[in-house]
Structure 1
């Protein structure tokens, strides 16, 4: 496999649970479901420490400073500890797991916030990849209304565009998966498996595609 961590970045009612199931057909891969945005809180904590250090390190060696000790904060160690705790306690990977990650719809979809979250994840989840998952917007909006999701059409359209812009960044660790492309044709997923460096098992994929996922 080309990566150690896989993250599905998406919005609700996009078929992402099916994509999660597809990835879990790959031997030694374990992709968890949503965690209500738990990682976001850890990232915000790390960001607060970075702000404190970036802005208030000057003279923070003095006990009279209101930011006493800011220069001594260990950003790398703190980020590594947060990440290790998340992997150990949230992802809870069995010993035979080679690749892990999760899918989430609760990213903070302002361009600067999403960029910062991805930057943190790239830094501390080494050899990571981001699977940007989208779906036909009319179908997504209709499904979201049926499910009673509290998100407006305007917000869904904006999130979809932001994710497509992220794909256009041409980063080598970003891959775009569109639900409508592969839903009835598993062969359309072959480029994804090539990107991941995984064996393409069309029979296993067909079994997943005929199994109900989510609601």
Structure 2
């Protein structure tokens, strides 16, 4: 832990808001930041996906994995391809066998917390919201796994909104309606599937519930294990709806 002190600094863990644009996620960000000790940042250009891709390559690419696996084996038990070159300076992937995938992954995320999230001293729960997770469906589950396992006490909030309303909002109006409904419909299905597979660490938020039913907000606080300051919540909701 001492080697990754920035990652472990928020003593009560992390919260990530996973959604798409025009879902009302800034309202959720504001509600979370009203909880004492929570510091939930805004979007960051999906940086954890790029870091996650690097983490996944080091952990699972054959050129890394085979070398790690064979390093401890007697020469005669190694893959024929690697027998004459493993550990040699003329190996095209020289040194790959020495890369520790766990230390690499934790080091990247420790740097992300230090330089991007930059939680202040009073922060006990850090995190961010991002609207671009769904743009790479093939990597989505792996990305969620990386967030959930590398960040201590991580919880993921998946936010949805009525897709017809989304399609008429903001920049989505400039896209064909059917494309928006198809793309974001897939996002909702990915959110639901992952949340169903990991109910202890994932929670689904519906924008319509947030703005119409204080019980929906209370359920969010209950999932997080945090008391709800109802006057503060109602003030945030009123401000958001007026805006």
TM-score > 0.5, shorter chain as reference: yes
TM-score norm. by structure 2 comes to 0.80
Task: Give the structure with the higher percent helix.
Answer: 2
SS of 2:15 mapped into structure 1: strand
53, 66, 73: which is aligned to 1:44? Answer: 53
Q: Does 1:163 align with 2:191?
A: yes
SS of 1:11 mapped into structure 2: coil
Cα separation, partners in 2 of 1:147 and 1:102, compared to 1, 3 Å: farther
Whole-Å separation in 2 of the counterparts to 1:40 and 1:149: 24
Deviates more, 1:204-213 or 1:98-107: 204-213
SS of 1:34 mapped into structure 2: coil
204, 215, 222: which is aligned to 1:176? Answer: 204
Q: Does 1:29 align with 2:55?
A: no
Q: Is the 8 A contact 1:141 1:156 kept in 2?
A: no
TM-score norm. by structure 1 comes to 0.90
1:142 alignment partner in structure 2:
168
| Larger-gyration structure (1/2) | 2
Cα separation, partners in 2 of 1:109 and 1:145, compared to 1, 3 Å: closer
Cα separation, partners in 2 of 1:188 and 1:152, compared to 1, 3 Å: closer
In the alignment of these two chains, the number of paired residues is 214
Q: Is the 8 A contact 2:11 2:124 kept in 1?
A: no
Counterparts of residues 190-201 of structure 1 (less than 5 Å): 190-201=218-229
2:213 alignment partner in structure 1:
185
- Give unmatched runs, 5+ long, in structure 1: none
Counterparts of residues 90-101 of structure 1 (less than 5 Å): 90-101=116-127
Whole-Å separation in 2 of the counterparts to 1:166 and 1:146: 25
SS of 1:13 mapped into structure 2: coil
- Give unmatched runs, 5+ long, in structure 2: 1-9, 71-81
Deviates more, 1:152-161 or 1:96-105: 152-161
